[in-house]
Copies of this chain bind each other. A is one copy, B any other.
Amino acid sequence: MNCEVISIGDELLIGQTVNTNASWIGSQLNLEGFDVNYGVVISDESTDIIKALKVAERRSDLIIITGGLGPTKDDITKHTLCDYFETELILNKEIEDKIITYFKARGLPILQTNRDQALLPKNCKILNNSKGTASGMWFEKDNKNFISLPGVPYEMKAIMSEEVIPKLRIEYGNGYHLINKTIKTHGMGESFLAEVIKDWEEGLNLDEIKLAYLPSPGIVKLRLTILGFEKEILNQKLNYQIEKLKELIPNQIFGFENDTMESVVGKLLNQVSSTVSTAESCTGGTVAKLLTSISGSSSYFNGSVVTYTNQSKEEILEVDSNVLNTEGAVSQTTVEKMAKKVRSIFHSDFGLATSGIAGPSGGTNDKPVGTVWIAISSNERTISKKLNLGYNRERNIHVSALSVLNLLRLELVKMNLTKSS
């Protein structure tokens, strides 16, 4: 079934509101195995809505429309749909009672505009809105389905989940499945990665699997998509290819689907009952922030020191002033000492450290902007690595934080292997 999402609202066109509704609807339809082929954003103008409906009717089987169902004057979707489907508004007593109850329960006065939300098109199925007063509407015309939903995200989501998806499953669920799997990698740029996995990528064609590269700072996501009827076989094909990919880039794959570097590291730390603390210079607390963004992180995260001055590196982390004067704050010796010392200060199993030039200023010929040293230290050993990043401060900070977490991840994976072997 070909699906199309039409979002109505000037605020979307001028970027005042990001169109998260369309993303969410797309993800839900995709999960059900329906193809989402078009997304359209138009203004709150009757003529634009009519034009978009005409185009959608030609190319799509299911059209989901959001926005313009509120009680105020600029909400014109309901009237426009009546024109398009040549019908009229009639009072729905049941919905009127619901609206009255809704306002009474909240101790709010009911205005005529609120009551008017019970005026609904004669020839559509009414979809119950459990979270508000704007009903959803389902029109059918020549085997095409048009569903109109409010633009308020939690109301739209409630109607989609409680009314639309269950009905779609019954009427159009036909054993046809579209399955996505996302593999998350760190440590290789998009084009270098593409080169390394070139033969594997070609092999995907045989299984009719599509591959998309989705790069973001420090991370390249690989999305595999497969279409077909037998869910189990489709999953088997994807899993087979993922296993092959793991052999090619074992150290680069850090997770799947909604995994993040920090969630993966957190799980691994819990598995080996280890704790961590960080000593940060150029990342300025970002590694700590990432680690503590995970609920339950207090079981493995002990704390951090952000040493932004040389004085604090000396006094708190006992970096030798000679080292700071000769090798500098951005050096292997400094970052290794930072990692070792923060481990002991916080009595943790692992110490992580970062020191670099995030930019845009502060670079030298020897150490240009983007030069970053990272280190991890355990009671067994201390490992450090030099990164050569680019010129964007935000990106440098973020990629440095991911890189030091990845260094820890690789160490934890080894520990897990040793433990289980």
Contact = CB atoms under 8 A, between A and B. Distances in A.
Contact of A41 (B40, B278, B289, B305): B40
Given A301-B308, A309-B302, A345-B316, A26 B14 contact: yes
A296 B389 CA distance: 19
Contacts of A388: 106-107
B292 A289 contact: no
Contacts of A308: 292, 297-298, 301-303
A307 interface: yes
A100 interface: no
A26 B13 contact: yes
Copies assembled: 2
- Which of A109, A201, A298, A361 neighbours the largest number of chain B CB atoms within 10 Å of its CB? A298
Interface string A114-147: 1000000000000000010000000000000000
Contacts of A210: 74
A331 interface: no
A378 interface: no
A297 B282 CA distance: 11
A15 B19 contact: no
Given A16-B27, A392-B131, A292 B285 contact: yes
A316 B344 CA distance: 12
Interface in A147-183: 152, 154, 180, 182
A10 B48 contact: no
Contacts of A20: 18
Interface stretch (A248-256, A393-401, A408-416): A393-401
Interface stretch (A78-86, A89-97, A212-220, A265-273): A212-220
Contacts of A225: 10
Interface stretch (A191-199, A228-236, A237-245, A318-326): A191-199
Contact of A30 (B15, B111, B283, B393): B15
A70 interface: yes
Contacts of A328: none
Given A37-B42, A292-B308, A316-B345, A111 B192 contact: yes
A417 to B, nearest CB: 28
A210 to B, nearest CB: 8
A283 B311 CA distance: 25
Interface in A1-42: 5, 7, 10-20, 22-30, 36-42
A295 interface: yes
A15 B346 CA distance: 41
Contact of A289 (B223, B286, B302, B346): B286
5 contacts: A14-B29, A15-B27, A16-B27, A303-B312, A312-B345
Shortest 7 CB-CB distances between A and B: which pairs?
A284-B292, A39-B41, A15-B27, A285-B288, A285-B285, A15-B23, A304-B306
